[in-house]
Amino acid sequence: MADITCEELKQRMDSGEKLNLIDVRESYEFDEFNIGAILIPLGSLPPKLAELESIKDEEIIIHCRSGNRSAQAKMYMMDQGFTNVRNLLGGMLEWQSLYGN
């Protein structure tokens, strides 16, 4: 599945679309700034996958600080049978450079 840009995500959020957003940063990063995603740090993702089973075939947008950890999470989830996982390109660094805090 193709990744998603900050611009596309912001547009979809602003339109009120219901999205499955997962933040794979650490809790201290999430506490500093977040966009309302569910926090599942990358290291905690494997044991949490069962909790995401109900949305396995829905679009899931993963993000982190820069896009690296979320790219790893995307690959892992796809290897586990998730069919529609997208990585937020540029992560929260890009988001904050475009939209601030």
Catalytic residue ranges:
64
Cα–Cα dist 81/78, whole Å: 5
Provide the 3-class DSSP secondary structure of residue 61.
Answer: strand
In this structure, what are the phi and psi dihedrals at residue 43, rounded to the nearest 5 degrees? Answer: -65, -20
Q: Residue 43 corresponds to which tokens in the numbers above?
A: 């290291």
